[in-house]
Amino acid sequence: MDEQIYQAMLNSYKTIVEGMDPAIIIESNKGYFIHHPSDTIDKNILEVLLEYFEEEEDYDKCIKIKKHLKKYD
């Protein structure tokens, strides 16, 4: 289960922050996301991603997520 949570967080990060096409991820059979890829991204999703990657101590991702969060201020 932890692997699926990590994969969902990573996939959502890749699509939201890095702009990867979600269809590529879905086709890989690891199409877990914490958001629906066709929905509009809201601030809450980014905050969840930020909290998760802070706990993982992946600060490079945190910096990029914070840049996206500034768009909502």
For the stretch 33-65, pLDDT in tens is 999 999 999 999 999 999 999 999 999 999 999
Q: Which amino acid is at 17?
A: V
* pLDDT of the residue at 35: 95
Who's near 31: CB < 8 A, 6+ residues apart?
11, 22, 25
Who's near 53: CB < 8 A, 6+ residues apart?
9, 13, 59, 61, 62, 65
Mean pLDDT of the chain: 93
Q: Provide mean pLDDT across the span 7-21.
A: 96
How many whole angstroms separate alpha carbon 43 and alpha carbon 68? 9
